[in-house]
Amino acid sequence: MYSQKKTEIFWAIVFILPAVLGFLLWNIIPIISSAVISFTEYRLIGPSIWVGWDNYRFLFVEDFLFPKVIKVTLYYSLVSVPLKLMFALFIAILLNKKIKGLAIFRTIFYLPAIVPLIAATILWIWLFNPDFGLINSFLQIFGIAKIQWIYGSKTVIPSLILMSLWDVGPLMIIFLAGLQGVPRTLYEAADIDGASNFRKFYHVTLPMITPTLLFNLVITIITTLQTFLQPYVMTEGGPNNESLLYLLYLYRTAFKDYEMGLASAQAWLIFIFIALLSYIVFKTSKYWVYYEGK
Amino acid sequence: MLYKKMFTLILILFIPISIYAQKELNFTYWGSTFEKKAVEDVIDDFNKSHPGVHVTAQHIPQNYDEKIMTMITGGNAPDVGYVAGDTVQLWATQGITKNLSPYFASDPDLRSRMEVSRYRIGDGIAATNAALESMIIFYNKKLFDDAGVPYPPSKWNEAWKWDDFVNVAKKLTKDKNGNNALSPNFDPENIDVYGFAHDRWWGHWMPFIYSNGGKLISDDGKTVLMDQPESIQALQKLADLSWKHHVAPTPASTKSFPNNNVMLQTGKVAMSLNGHWNILDISQMGFEWGIGVLPYHKKPITITFGGAIAIFSGTKHHEEAYKLFKFFGDPDKNALFPKGLWMPLRVKDYLEPSLTAKWLDKIPGVYPPESRDVLVDYTLISTLAHPRKPPSYWVNGWSKALSKVIQPAVDLIFTNEATAQEAMRDVPSKANPLLKGRL
């Protein structure tokens, strides 16, 4: 009996080991070493020099680009996150109605999510072309003057936000699942009380889907703050660094300037910022998220 | 029986030894699928003509620097390979690439590689260009014929003055109703064909600053001089092409679509400023095209530059690595030269007609007839009489200053959000601290 248990434990460890080792080797150790590296000057080749808080001090005091990068990233995120959520919810509500060709519409709105991001991004470069692009050609019909889109320093972030709205498929699907979970009986009761569509949405739908909303909010905040590919492919951070989002700047520091210490410091700052933001969202969620079970 | 066994055993033992005795080299490079094919051919030829040496070509199309860094950190450095122009100085100062000065001292053929192609670090030479590349004008002949305008000049001493060039570009620019940019009825909001196209990358604006007698940076490599009148004037005139004269689309990133070659082919653009290496693509696009020299302000010159090729310090086979390095830059052996992607590095490949023919005439239909003016004479004038090395060759910290400060400021001019004067005002104060002098 005893030895059988021992064998079981042995095999349990053997089976768990790959996952644990993988987690240690590919996650924990790199995370810890990046924390250490962030206090050094390290260029991949050659010695690493301990510089204490210098990298962090450089970012906050000396680097003239860092404040701009933060400003640009916050601008993008603060506008993009709520717009994406509202847009996804709006479409989800529409697609929750019983209309003809529902499956087709749902597919159409989800389709962008299965297009590889890089392909979609290149498609949008075409659309945004100021001189030959489809969007400007269309606007021209109404006599609207050329817009520079991703090539103008004031229009580049709004353009990227516009583009991000195109890709709300996954958020929409989750909202849709949440909407389907709202009990019919509540709507029937509201109908009997003579509630308008808006009141039904505000007093029934919205409270019932707040758990879904919370999930989508956290996910969207995290992914939006880490947007990288779109500015990397479309604008290279330009014009005038107006689309130099945080992760693109980090990438440049690490793989163009080879300042691994500085890049690690940047990585830790965004990590702490996202962790803090998520913490705040979760902490405040008890005031606005409604769980039916409770 | 025993002998037979012994013999087999020795044979088995010997096989790995004989393979080991063959000198294995690793060559790393980037480039299009076309370039990949050509490089593989060069390497094959090298392997055939050098018994006992075996070179493996490793194609790294994306994130080249990261990959090489990882290979070096892992103790797996290549022997010979491409190095991005912006990276040479970093790798040379870290001792990743080998100092080539001893070879330059002993090999006159290597010494004949143009001075402008050498990446110097202090007293040493870290690399040379893999090939020479220059900025020229490509044009669509049909659009010129339709407008009744003579083709862009191909001789350097007949180059257009800037204002003449603008005038020609205006004649070629047409709105949707067919009016050209000189017509009083011209509608700049509805342009169908542009006279000219360029983009925001430094290769497209640097030549005009030099042509206007300007400098990007002081000779000690510590002060940006782009706030000086010569630079400002040249940049402003480039931006005016889009915003004042309406003869060019807003210069966008090189990653824009459709790219300027396609616009040239489809007749949406009459002249396109671009690197000579586009001859490879354009010669296969099936339209009537030609090349010409750049318009100028004060001096009719262009710039030359090129990605670097270097020998890595970690190589175990110094002699073979050097042979490979040389083999690669020989226009007679490397098909990238006759196919229009690369121009030679040695002065004699330009000066001696028999050698010039080896890259210009080897494959008919690649280089147009005017190449002897545009690619040979014009290149010689620009590299020998008025040599200008882009700052990436000799200024420590240039690439950082360019990406963080200078290019963003140039963007503002090209999008008409600031005049050249306004955009350049703060550039030196921000960029100078990033510069660390001559290499």
B142 close to B340: Cβ distance less than 8 angstroms: no
- The beta-carbon neighbor of B404 closest among A43, A65, A153 is A65
For residue B78, count CB atoms less than 10 angstroms from its CB and return exposed for 0-12, middle for 13-18, buried for 19 or more.
buried
CA closest to B251 among chain A residues: A151
Query: The whole model's pTM is what?
Result: 0.85
A129 chain-B contacts, CB cut-off 8 A: 252, 256-257
Q: A132 vs B190: CB contact, 8 Å cut-off?
A: no
| Residues of A at the B interface, defined by Cβ within 8 angstroms | 43-46, 64-65, 122, 125-126, 129-132, 140, 145-146, 148, 151-154, 233-236, 238-241, 252, 255-258
- What integer pLDDT is reported at residue B72 of this predicted model? 86
Q: What is the DSSP string of B165-233?
A: HHHHHHHH-EETTS-BTTSTT--TTSEEEEEEE--SSHHHHHHHHHHTT--SB-TTS--B-TTSHHHHH
Q: pLDDT by residue (tens digit) across B293-341? A: 999 999 999 999 998 999 999 899 999 999 999 999 999 888 889 999 9
Return the SS3 of B296: strand
Note whether B255 contacts A234, CB cutoff 8 Å. yes
CATH class of the domain whose range is A63-287 = mainly alpha
Closest chain B C-alpha to A97 CA, distance in angstroms: 40
Run of H or E including A192: helix A184-192
Which chain B residue's Cα is nearest to A243?
A: B408
Q: Taking CB atoms and an 8 Å limit, are B249 and A153 in contact across chains?
A: no
**Which of B69, B312, B411 best probes binding to A when mutated, by most A CB atoms within 10 angstroms?**
B411
What residues contact A165, with CB distance under 8 A and at least 6 apart?
A: A83, A84, A87
Residue A95 — φ and ψ, nearest 5°? -80, 0
Tell me: cis bond preceding A116? Omega within 30 of 0 counts. Answer: no
Region of residue B20 (left: phi > 0; alpha: psi -120 to 50; beta: else) = alpha
Task: State the ipTM, two decimals.
Answer: 0.80
How many Å lie between the alpha carbon of B409 and the closest alpha carbon of chain A?
Answer: 6
From chain A, the residues in CB contact with B66 under 8 A are 255
Q: Which amino acid is at B276?
A: H
Percent of chain B past pLDDT 70, that is, above it, reads: 94
**pLDDT in the model for residue B123:** 85
Domains in chain B, CATH or no CATH each: 22-132+306-363 (3.40.190.10), 135-303+389-434 (3.40.190.10)
Mutate to test the interface with B, among A69, A235, A256 (most CBs of B within 10 A): A256
Cα–Cα dist B438/B398, whole Å: 10
- The closest CB to that of A131, out of B69, B249, B400, belongs to B249
Determine the residue of chain A that is closest to B411 in CA distance: A239
Q: Establish if B198 touches chain A: CB-CB under 8 angstroms.
A: no
Peptide bond into B353 cis (omega under 30): no
Find all residues with CB under 8 Å of A237, minimum gap 6, and list them.
Answer: A231, A243, A244, A245, A248, A249, A252
Q: Which of B257, B268, B406 to mutate to test the interface with A (most CBs of A within 10 A)?
A: B257
Closest in B189, B252, B400 to A257, CB measured: B400
**Is B258's Cβ below 8 Å from some Cβ in A?**
yes
Residue B247: closest C-alpha in chain A: A131
When CB atoms are compared, the residue of A45, A130, A238 closest to B411 is A238
Q: What is the pLDDT of residue B14?
A: 58
Chain B environment of A132 (Cβ under 8 Å): 249, 258, 263, 268
Confidence (pLDDT) at A2: 65
Residue ranges in chain A modelled with pLDDT below 70: 1-2, 293-294
Which residue in chain A has the smallest CA separation from B67?
A255
Tell whether B189 is within 8 A of chain A (Cβ): yes
The nearest alpha carbon in chain B to A152 belongs to B415
How many residues in chain A? 294
Closest Cα in chain B to A64: B430
- The DSSP 8-state label assigned to residue B315 in this structure reads -
Which pLDDT does position B23 carry in this prediction? 87
- Tens digit of each residue's pLDDT (9 = 90 or more) over B257-278: 678 888 999 999 999 999 999 9
Element (DSSP H or E) covering residue B164: helix B162-172
Distance CA B419, CA A123 (A): 32
Contact partners, residue B87, CB within 8 Å, separation at least 6:
B65
pLDDT of B254 reads 54
**In this predicted structure, what is the pLDDT of residue B62?**
85
- The answer to whether A44 contacts B409, with C-beta atoms less than 8 Å apart, is no
Q: Are B403 and A252 in contact (CB < 8 Å)? A: yes
Residues in A closer than 8 angstroms to B411, CB to CB, are 153, 238-240
**Strands B23-29 and B80-83, bridge-based pairing:** parallel
Are residues B311 and B88 in contact, defined by beta-carbon separation less than 8 angstroms? no
Q: Write down the pLDDT at residue A257.
A: 84
pLDDT tens for the 439 residues of chain B, in order: 556 666 666 656 555 555 556 889 999 999 888 788 888 999 999 999 999 899 999 999 888 988 998 888 888 889 999 998 878 888 888 888 999 999 999 999 999 999 889 998 888 899 999 999 999 999 999 999 999 999 999 999 999 999 999 999 999 999 989 899 999 999 988 889 999 999 888 999 999 999 999 999 999 999 999 999 999 999 999 999 999 999 998 887 555 667 888 899 999 999 999 999 999 889 989 999 999 999 999 999 999 999 899 999 989 999 999 999 999 999 988 888 999 999 999 999 999 999 999 999 999 999 999 999 999 999 998 888 877 888 988 898 898 899 899 999 999 999 899 999 999 999 999 999 999 888 8
